[in-house]
Structures are given as C-alpha cells and as structure tokens.
Amino acid sequence: MAKPRQTIETTRRIPRQSRAAETVTAILEGAAQILETGGLAAFTTNTVAERAGVSIGTLYQYFTNKDAVLLALARREMEIALADVGRALGGGGDPSLEGRVRAMVRVIINAFRGRQRARKAVVQAILAQGIGIELMAPVAAFIAAAGAEVGSGPRPILPALSREQLFVMSRAMLGAIRAAVLEEQPFLRSRAFEDEIVRLAVSYLGSIKSDPGRSRTTV
Amino acid sequence: MAKPRQTIETTRRIPRQSRAAETVTAILEGAAQILETGGLAAFTTNTVAERAGVSIGTLYQYFTNKDAVLLALARREMEIALADVGRALGGGGDPSLEGRVRAMVRVIINAFRGRQRARKAVVQAILAQGIGIELMAPVAAFIAAAGAEVGSGPRPILPALSREQLFVMSRAMLGAIRAAVLEEQPFLRSRAFEDEIVRLAVSYLGSIKSDPGRSRTTV
Amino acid sequence: MAKPRQTIETTRRIPRQSRAAETVTAILEGAAQILETGGLAAFTTNTVAERAGVSIGTLYQYFTNKDAVLLALARREMEIALADVGRALGGGGDPSLEGRVRAMVRVIINAFRGRQRARKAVVQAILAQGIGIELMAPVAAFIAAAGAEVGSGPRPILPALSREQLFVMSRAMLGAIRAAVLEEQPFLRSRAFEDEIVRLAVSYLGSIKSDPGRSRTTV
Amino acid sequence: MAKPRQTIETTRRIPRQSRAAETVTAILEGAAQILETGGLAAFTTNTVAERAGVSIGTLYQYFTNKDAVLLALARREMEIALADVGRALGGGGDPSLEGRVRAMVRVIINAFRGRQRARKAVVQAILAQGIGIELMAPVAAFIAAAGAEVGSGPRPILPALSREQLFVMSRAMLGAIRAAVLEEQPFLRSRAFEDEIVRLAVSYLGSIKSDPGRSRTTV
DNA sequence: AATGAATGAGCCTTCATTCAT
DNA sequence: AATGAATGAAGGCTCATTCAT
C-alpha cells in the first residue's frame, strides 16, 4: 500500500474530455468488479487496470496511487447513496417523525444491497485504512441533519440534539445496518429488521424529547 | 496477508514449558506494541518478532502465519473484555435495568480505551479479513444475553426479545462505541456520551416493553 | 523449490516485443551461467536475475517461478540437442546401420560436452524433480524412432522393435553416456568410448535381428 | 542443504551400544518412510527426527548434517542390494554366461522394487547432489567384476574387458533399469523386460568376444 | 495520452543447526 | 545421552510505481 499519504486529492488530472471521463469510470468500474469478485486481496493496481481495459500507466495517469482508486470508489458509492436518501426524504411521503425515519432507513439498507460483496469490500477496505471516518462523515451528517431538522422548524417536534446525541443516533443506526450487511444476516431486507431500526431511532428521539439531557448543540 | 484461511487454529506448537508460555505472551505483547506504535502498516512478522525479543523462527514455531498472530491477539483482547463485562455485571451494583446497562456500557467503553491504537488496529485488521463476525459474536451474544435476561426471571422487566431486536440492540451499542473509538472522538470517555448510549439502550428496551412487536424468540 | 507443480506452462507473459525476447534469452543465459559456475546450489532466482542483468521482478514477469526457469532452460538444451541429432542423421553420411548409430552417438556425446557443468546441473535438477521423464521423452523417442526406422522401409535391416526393446536400447545408450558425463569420466570424448557405445547398440540390434523375441510393436 | 561438505564420514559417533544402534536404525527407517511418503520435498531433518521418534538433537548426535542421513540411507540400501547380488551369484544356479547375467539382472530389478518411491527418492536425491558416482561405484564395480570374472578363470569365456567396456556394460544395464524405475514403467517387473536387459548384456559381451577392440585393461 | 516493460524494496516463511537444560 | 526451544541466514515471490517509447 506504500507509505500512507494523507493527501485527500485522489485524481491527478481533472478529466475535461469525455474520453478521459470514460477512462476514469472504466477504472472505477473495474475496481468495483475486482472487489466484488476477489475481495480486497485481489485488489492490485495491475489487476484493476487490466480489468478496466487500460494499461497500468494510464491508471496512474488518473490516480496518484492505489489508495486513491479505493477512495474514489468509496466516494462514488457514498454520493449515490446520499442522493438516494435525499430523493427519498424530498419526495413527499409520510411527514411524521416515524415516516421520515422509516424512509431514510429503507434507503440506507437498500444502498447496501445492490453489489453487496463489492460494497462490503469497500467498507472493509476503507475501515482497514482509517479513512472511514472521513467518508462516513457526510452520511452521518446527513442523518444528523435530518434528526436536527425534526427538532427545529416552526413547530419543532424535538429539541435540538447535542453533539453526542447526533453522534450516537447516526452511528447506532449505521452500525446496526452495517453489521447486518457485514455479517450477511438473512433478515437484512426483512420488514421486521426495518421496524426495529425505526424503533431504535424513534424511541431514542422520543426519550430525548421528554428529557433532553444536559448540553445541547447543533452540529 | 496471504490468502484467507478459514482454519481457526492459530497456534502451531502447544507450549508445555513455562518458557514457551512466556514466549507466546511476549510475541502477543510485541504485536500489540507494534500495532499501537505503527498501526497495521508496521505490523510485519519480522517487526513483531524483533519487538518481542525473539527470533523470527521462534515466532513461527508458535504461530502458523502472520494472520494467526493477529487473530490470537484479537482473541486475547476479546476474552479480557468479556471477563470485565462479566465481572461488572456480577458484582452487585445497581440492579435496575438502567443500572445494569450502564455498568455494561462503561465496561465496553473502557475495554476500548487502554491501548487505543492497538485496539483500533486489531479491529480494523479483523474487519478487513471478515473474521470480525466470528469474534464479535461472543461479545454480541453477551450483550444479547444480558438483554434477554432482563426479559425473563420471576418478575421479568421485559418480554423476551426477538432475534432482530437482540441484533439491533447489541450492534447499535457496539456500533456507536466502535465509531467513537475509530473516529477518535474526544467525548469517548465523557459522561455525556455514556449517558446517551445508556439512553439508547434503555429507551429501546422500554419501547419494546410497551409494544413487543411481532415475532419473539429467545436466542 | 516450492511444491511441485504439474503445470507445464513455464512462461507467464508471452514476449511480443523484441526487447522482451532478448530479456528472456538473457535470463536463460544467466541461468545457464549460474549453473555452470556454482551448480544447483547457487541457482537462486535472485542470483539468476542479477547475472542476467535484469531485476528480480522482470524475471518473474516472464517465468512463473524458479522451476519454470530451470525447465525452460532444459527444454532449450533439449531442442538444441535434438536439432543436432536430426541434422547429423539427415546429412548424408555412412548409411549403414553402424554408420547411423555412430553419427547419433557422436552427436549425443557432444551435446553433453559444451557447457558441461551447466548441463550436468540441468540434468540433476530435472531428475530431482521427476520431470526428467517428460523431457527425456523426445530424445528417447528420437533414438527409438531411429531404431524403428532401421527395422522398417523397403528392405528392413531389422524387424520392428517391441516396446521393451526400444526402451532398453534408448535408455541403455543414454544411461551410459549420462553416467560418463555425471561421473566426469576422462574417456568421455575418446574414440574408444564412442566405439563401445556403438558396439552396444549394434550388437543389441543384431541380436534382435537373429532372434526377435516375443511381442513386437512399433512405438 | 547447507554448504556442501565433501566430508564423506556420515556418522558422528560410532554406536557401540545396542541402544545407539537402534537409534541410528530408527532414524534411517524414519528417513526412508519420509522419502517414501512425501518425496525429497518432505525430507527435512525435523520431519525425519519426528518420524523416527527421536528429538532433532539426537539426530544430530549421530549424523553430522542432513546430507549425512541421506548418504547413510543410500549406503544401507546399496549394501543390501549388493548382498543380494552376491547371494544370487553364489548360490549355484545356471553357470552359463546368460544364466549368471540373468541372475544378476533379476536381483537388481528386485532391489529397486520394494519400497519404490523411497528408492526413487534416494536415487534422485543422490543424483541431485552429485554423490551418485561414489555410491554407484561399488555396484558398478560389482557388475564389472562379474563381467571380468567371466573373462578370466581357467577357461575364460571372454577376454578381459577394457575400462571403457566395463563402464559401458555396467552403466547401460543400470541406466535402463533405473530409467524404468524412475519413469515408473509398467513392464518393470515383466519377463519381457528382463529378457531384453539380459539380451543387452549377453549380446554386448558376445560382440566383445568375437572382436575385443583395441585397449584392454582390468578395472 | 497511452503503453507496458522494468524496477526493487521488502515481505513472509522455511529449515538446517546449536546449545542450555 | 537426550531434549526441543531458539536461532537467523537465506530464499521465493509480490506488487506499487516509474519512465522510455
């Protein structure tokens, strides 16, 4: 993996031409496939380049190093997931607290469904490098924001959540879902599981409503 | 890292003499130190052996390969953590639901405190290999058992939890705590954080009490 | 030497560019030199690469593993030897039985002469792996074919040889010559030795002529 | 294999006590079994000691190094084989040239039969080290002597054989038999094969009788 | 821009051998 | 005499990365 670079820029040259964009996509797609097929162990720059149908030299023309590929892949997945969540919350569904929470839970679970092995590998890879935090951030922020929103507005259903509360709520939800994915639990896509995740969030928020606890801050 | 072996035996030669037992301990200790100091990247068999003050040959006399060292280390940590939890629950403290939950939370948080970087690395490494499940199992089982226990007995505080409920509760708690460790959150050891974890568990269990949900099973 | 692979493919990347072809030649040449200089003991991938003037990585770009280099070298030598034998038999010399046998014997002995130590090492190495059979096969087949040929045609000098007869004749000749090489006998290149090998073959074939023995089969 | 030692002494301390002799036997027997089971690749000092039921330290008490074990094993096998040959020739069978040759051939083939894999491994191992010569010597000498004997005595059947002739005859026979063993030819134990080996020797000797060739010397 | 041959640091692992007990 | 824990040199091999074409 080379010496860890804290550089967060992953792409070397910003692809302006469509061909370049295609190349980047091909590489990322190849990376996902390799991860899907052989897991992290098979994820080598040479393998990825080959699967992507480009030369290893080309890969390095677009990515500074191996980690950059992984990171870019993770980012892409995250963005897709977030877009889904946003779409789900935006589309007028049940506006109640439980309704919104349920919409969100459903999207997150589905986000992990599709290419499961690849996603699992991405998650593992990301965690194995400690970059997870950075990437989890926007997702967590999103969840937190959704939670906070509930507690603000003209007729706030909840008081504003403290830093710790936002953290616990978002991480607890993600943690349970992620564990189900990683452990390949059979009930991952079941209604019962979804119900319990919703219950977890709603009961927690309800508890805060009746007893806000000490410190209170927005994110 | 070699190809993943599903073999779970980690040790090669069973140490009969006291000297050998010391050697194993030294290696594990060395491994923990390396992990603590340089993270997973610095974790090579040669480095570990050197830090442990033994030759590389000796290391391989006791562990089949690099991964075996990591796994053994993880196991050791888990056992210690579980023993702590057991002791905490056993020692007569506050017998109320919240009291028991708080005791457990405190122990878990503390379990992750000490050699934080090492523990983080172990967790990452374990996750990166997909063995996490196996290792997480006893911990989760313990938490689940503690939860179940509350729902049984002469005057059960709670109804028996369903499979999904046990899963969600244990993973949500562990997930939140683990995220705080991995993200190196400053409030990890704060009372506020502990309070929120407790709130999460208690409110969730309370919600189940008033509305058990559909299926119900003991683990 | 790694665990024996029955895979017979030795090359990893098929050299398309002329530079690559040169590299393969260089490696094989380096291997031969190492074998010549230090015998099998000095034959390590690193040594070979160094002597060949390429990096160890390059060596592994063209050969799957150490054995593959040895095998490829052995093949090359065999091909050269066979070509020599063919040329000798083709070129119109003495067409009598003894004439043809002598031509062949001479070529074989010479084939083992040049880079003796290297050849000895190759032979030893090949034998030590049990691949010898496979490689010896074409040579033996050639000798056998030459023998068979004598027994066919418009006016066959000999009856067709049985499987056992072909085997005994070819292996006996090769065995005697090989022993002389391996034991570094001083008379290896002498006329007297050549005479005796010829005598061995001719008298054996003559004996068959007068008493063919039981079963008879072409190869 | 360590650096090649040309030391030919294999045993370190001459076992005077019966227990020591038993130990040596056990080691040699263990070595043979390992060779039989796993071939040369499995032949490590530790493995041999374990199979022999002695500690590695004990093994080194009796053998200077790994090669010494192999050499001693080879010697033991040779001695047994030679004793068999001697017994066969001594016991009054068919006293004719062919009768004596056949007796010898049969013994040699049988010598290679029993523990075939082990013997094959020994042969390979010996050859791979270049010690073969030394060991082959007594056998070859024996065959040669038998040949020479035929050519001496009150009414010599044959003229004395030259150095080259003895060499060619012994090595040709051994070569053919050895090849059959190494190549695991199905006809190894067949009568047809035996016949051909006999024919090889008899026809060769017959040819010498009618045309002795130039130089003539006893070994 | 792309190619892919070449590089080489460094890792994991084996195994012959020693020596304190 | 025997034991077996410990040693460590050495070797096979991978793979991220570069750079001449």
What is the reported pLDDT for D47?
96
The answer to whether D85 and D189 have CB atoms below 8 angstroms apart is no
Q: How far apart are CA D136 and CA D71, in angstroms?
A: 12
What is the reported pLDDT for C167?
85
Instruction: Answer whether residue C208 shows pLDDT above 70.
Output: yes
Q: State pLDDT tens for residues C153-177.
A: 555 555 567 888 888 988 898 889 8
**C95-109, C185-199, D23-37, D38-52: segment of lowest average pLDDT:** C95-109
Give the residue, A78 or D169, on which the prediction is more confident. Answer: D169
Amino acid identity, residue C59? Answer: L
Tokens 């190759």 belong to which residue? C122
Q: Kindly state the greatest CA–CA separation across chain A.
A: 61
pLDDT band at A147, cuts 50/70/90? low
Q: State pLDDT tens for residues A82-110.
A: 777 777 766 666 767 788 788 888 877 77
Closest nucleotide to B57, Cα to C1':
F7
Q: Token pair for residue A94?
A: 């049940």
pLDDT band at B133, cuts 50/70/90? very low
Contact flag D213-C206 (C-beta cutoff 8 Å): no
Q: How far apart are CA B218 and CA A86, in angstroms?
A: 37
Q: State pLDDT tens for residues D85-143.
A: 777 766 666 767 788 788 888 877 877 666 666 776 776 666 555 554 455 555 556 66
User: Domain C71-211, CATH 3.90.1150 — does that match?
Assistant: no
Q: State pLDDT tens for residues C13-43.
A: 665 566 778 899 999 999 999 988 888 889 9
Closest nucleotide to A16, Cα to C1':
E1
pTM assigned to the model: 0.76
**C207-216, D45-54, D60-69: segment of lowest average pLDDT:** C207-216
How far apart, in Å, are the Cα atoms of A166 and each of A150, B22, B67? 12, 46, 36
**Rounded average pLDDT over D192-205:** 93
DSSP string, A143-158: HHHHHHHHTSSSS-SS
SS3 call for D86: helix
Residues present in chain D in total = 219
C54's torsion region: left (phi>0), alpha (psi -120 to 50) or beta? Answer: beta
Give the residue, B97 or D176, on which the prediction is more confident. Answer: D176
Instruction: Answer whether residue C181 shows pLDDT above 80.
Output: no
Q: How far apart are CA D40 and CA D34, in angstroms?
A: 8
What is the reported pLDDT for A78?
76
Question: What residue in D sits closest to C211 (Cα-Cα)?
Answer: D199
Give the residue, C83 or B92, on which the prediction is more confident. Answer: C83
Instruction: Answer whether residue C76 shows pLDDT above 80.
Output: yes
Contact flag B203-A206 (C-beta cutoff 8 Å): yes
SS3 call for D154: coil
Question: Which among B136, B137, B163, B133 is positioned nearest to B148, based on CA atoms?
Answer: B163
SS3 call for C193: helix
Contacts by residues C36-39 (CB-CB < 8 Å, ≥ 24 positions apart): C36/C115, C36/C117, C36/C118, C36/C121, C37/C117, C39/C117, C39/C121, C39/D130
Q: C170 Cβ partners below 8 Å, 6+ apart?
A: C139, C140, C143, C144, C147
Which of A122-131, B68-77, B173-182: highest mean pLDDT?
A: B68-77
Q: How far apart are CA D216 and CA D213, in angstroms?
A: 8
What is the reported pLDDT for C77?
78
C1' of E12 to CA of C38 (Å) = 27
Angle of helix B191-210 versus helix B97-113 axis, rounded to 10:
140
SS3 call for C12: coil
Rounded to the nearest integer, the mean pLDDT of chain A is 76
Instruction: Answer whether residue A4 shows pLDDT above 80.
Output: no
Torsion of Cα atoms, D5 then D8 then D11 then D14, to 10°: -140
Contact flag A133-B167 (C-beta cutoff 8 Å): no
C-alpha distance from D14 to closest chain C C-alpha (Å): 30
Q: How far apart are CA A197 and CA A112, in angstroms?
A: 15
Question: Which among C124, C134, C15 is positioned nearest to C70, based on CA atoms?
Answer: C124
Burial class (CB in 10 A: 0-12, 13-18, 19+), C69: buried
Rounded to the nearest integer, the mean pLDDT of chain C is 76
Question: Which among A160, A162, A200 is positioned nearest to B201, based on CA atoms?
Answer: A200
Q: How far apart are CA A180 and CA B171, in angstroms?
A: 9
Contacts of D192 in chain C (CB under 8 A): 162, 164, 213-215
Tell me what percent of the residues of chain C surpass a pLDDT of 70: 65
Q: A174 Cβ partners below 8 Å, 6+ apart?
A: A108, A136, A139, A140, A143, B175, B179
Q: How far apart are CA D53 and CA D58, in angstroms?
A: 10
pLDDT band at A205, cuts 50/70/90? confident
**Rounded average pLDDT over D184-195:** 90
Task: Using a threshold of 3 CB pairs under 8 A, tell whether chains D and C touch.
Answer: yes
**Rounded average pLDDT over A102-122:** 73
Tell me what percent of the residues of chain C surpass a pLDDT of 90: 26
Contact flag D128-C130 (C-beta cutoff 8 Å): no
**A69-73, B142-146, C6-10: segment of lowest average pLDDT:** C6-10
Q: Kindly state the greatest CA–CA separation across chain D.
A: 60
b/e for B133-171, b at 16 or more Cβ within 10 A? Answer: ebbbeebbebbbbbbbebbeeeeeebbbbbbbbbbbbbb
How far apart, in Å, are the Cα atoms of C26 and each of B32, C77, C112, C114? 46, 15, 21, 19
C1' of F1 to CA of D61 (Å) = 9
Q: Token pair for residue C80?
A: 């050269």
Give the best residue of C5, C199, C217, C219 to mutate against chain D (max D CB count within 10 A).
Answer: C199
Instruction: Answer whether residue A40 shows pLDDT above 90.
Output: no
Task: Return the nearest residue to E5, CA–C1'.
Answer: C20
SS3 call for D152: coil
Torsion of Cα atoms, A207 then A209 then A215 then A217, to 10°: 120
Instruction: Answer whether residue B37 shows pLDDT above 50.
Output: yes
Contact flag A202-B207 (C-beta cutoff 8 Å): yes
Work out the number of other CB atoms within 10 angstroms of the CB of residue D118. 19
Chains near D (3 or more Cβ pairs under 8 Å): C
What is the reported pLDDT for D1?
44
What is the reported pLDDT for B12?
73
Angle of helix B66-90 versus helix B45-52 axis, rounded to 10:
60
Strand E nucleotides where any atom sits below 7 Å of a protein CB: 1-20
How far apart, in Å, are the Cα atoms of D145 and each of A28, A94, C185, D59, D217? 77, 106, 19, 37, 12
**Rounded average pLDDT over D58-69:** 95
Work out the number of other CB atoms within 10 angstroms of the CB of residue B132. 20
Q: How far apart are CA A110 and CA A87, in angstroms?
A: 13
Which of A159-168, C33-42, D8-17, D181-190: highest mean pLDDT?
A: C33-42
Q: Token pair for residue C169?
A: 């004749």
> What DSSP designation does B153 have?
S
Q: Kindly state the greatest CA–CA separation across chain C.
A: 61
What is the reported pLDDT for B116?
63
Contacts of A173 in chain B (CB under 8 A): 172
Tell me what percent of the residues of chain D surpass a pLDDT of 90: 25
Tokens 């070979």 belong to which residue? C48
Rounded to the nearest integer, the mean pLDDT of chain B is 76
Rounded to the nearest integer, the mean pLDDT of chain D is 76
Give the residue, B30 or C105, on which the prediction is more confident. Answer: B30
Q: How far apart are CA A132 and CA A120, in angstroms?
A: 13
Which of A141-145, B128-132, D3-7, D39-43: highest mean pLDDT?
A: D39-43
pLDDT band at A24, cuts 50/70/90? very high
Q: Token pair for residue C113?
A: 């002469």
pLDDT band at B17, cuts 50/70/90? low
What is the reported pLDDT for C3?
41
Contacts of D200 in chain C (CB under 8 A): 168-169, 172, 200, 204
Question: Which among B202, B193, B101 is positioned nearest to A215, based on CA atoms?
Answer: B193
